[in-house]
Amino acid sequence: MKTRTDREAPAQPSRCPDPSAFKQQKLPAWKPQLSLASVLSCFFVIGAACLAAGICLILSANSVTEIQIDYSEKCSDCTKLRENSSNWNKECYCSTDFMLKEDMLGDVFMYYGLQNFYQNHRRYVISRSDAQLLGRDVNVQRSYCAPFMTYPNGTPMAPCGAIANSLFNDTIDLFYNVNSSVIQVPLLKTGNSWWTDKNVKFRNPVAHNLSSAFAGTARPPYWQKPVYMLDEEDERNNGYINDDLVIWMRVSAFSTFRKLYRRVSRTRQFADGLPAGNYTFQISYNFPVSKFKGKKYVILSTVVWSGGSNPFLGIAYTVCGAAATLTGFVITAIHLKLRKKKTYFQK
């Protein structure tokens, strides 16, 4: 018999889902019926495809023509000069000769390489102001640029941060020695960075000219020129959109890396690339590496349809293909063994 209290108590809401096909999980769905033949076919097809792609990528990477010159030891006099920071305003030049045994046909790229330089350090990576690099008038004291943020008198640095302050500033020129004459190889300074970098991530302040746009700021301590004079030959390649600055600001994930420096202009006798012969790198040595036991390289390289001389992707495909093929053979062996003993599991 129900009491008065039971009759007056409100009904509890039901916790059951609505009787819809979606909430009751009754929507039509496709469920694959895996069989031994389909599983083995997938493993062998994927393995064969990955092995074929990996071998093609490795052969393509090995076909790249590349020459690498270590000039950190060959420029020992300049290295000793740069060990003393008080000599920052003294110029030092050195040169290194090399020979191309065969033609480097097609587009030729010049890279600079650094060893034992940790651009991936956590404090180094965040030491920048993205808002400042977009050309905005911001207070750099609210950024992570310290200690390369302002000078003791309060003048802000442009650009601020440890990444910009450590900009690679060696100048490298290439000369072709032929028939007792020396020809300077024309190199392109622009067009080396990504489109997104020059149009999205980096912008110059809006002003009548760059010198007035950067008024009230000062160059980083390790720089020899202000940011609006990085390229005195091309006014469009100055400020925060300078190609060398943009490429350097894209930090590397490893301590040994290379970055694109120049491209050979395919004009005159270099229309097809670099002909075989004797060459000379003339270097204005400004970037010290002895303090962190590093090394510096200059690399000349061609490219193929798969990119530059980097076999990592081909090796990765080959390993995955070999693993898939090996798994297929293991499954086949287990199946044959169980079939011979007639010990199949029933569902």
pTM for this prediction = 0.81
Q: Is the pLDDT of residue 346 over 50?
A: no
Tell me: do 316 and 298 sit in the same domain: no
71 domain-assigned = yes
Q: Is the pLDDT of residue 328 over 70?
A: yes
Tell me: do 59 and 200 sit in the same domain: no
Tell me: do 46 and 166 sit in the same domain: no
11 domain-assigned = no
Tell me: do 284 and 146 sit in the same domain: yes
19 domain-assigned = no
Tell me: do 182 and 218 sit in the same domain: yes
The per-residue pLDDT for 1 is 53
Q: Is the pLDDT of residue 8 over 80?
A: no
Q: Is the pLDDT of residue 100 over 70?
A: yes
Tell me: do 46 and 104 sit in the same domain: no
Tell me: do 320 and 180 sit in the same domain: no
7 domain-assigned = no
Q: What mean pLDDT do residues 138-153 have?
A: 89
Tell me: do 44 and 148 sit in the same domain: no
Band (pLDDT 50/70/90 cuts) for residue 347 is very low
18 domain-assigned = no
266 domain-assigned = yes
Tell me: do 103 and 56 sit in the same domain: no
Q: What mean pLDDT do residues 143-166 have?
A: 92
**Angle at Cα 109 formed by Cα 107 and Cα 113, nearest 5°?**
165
Q: What is the mean pLDDT of the chain?
A: 89
311 preceded by cis ω (within 30°)?
A: no
214-228, 247-261, 332-346: range with lowest mean pLDDT? 332-346
Q: Per the structure, how many domains does the chain have?
A: 2
13 domain-assigned = no
Q: Which domain holds residue 60?
A: 39-64+308-327
- Select the more confidently predicted residue: 306 or 347: 306
Express each pLDDT in 277-296 by its tens digit.
999 999 999 998 988 889 99
The per-residue pLDDT for 9 is 57
Tell me: do 113 and 75 sit in the same domain: yes
Tell me: do 52 and 195 sit in the same domain: no
240 domain-assigned = yes
The per-residue pLDDT for 44 is 95
The per-residue pLDDT for 336 is 86
Tell me: do 54 and 87 sit in the same domain: no
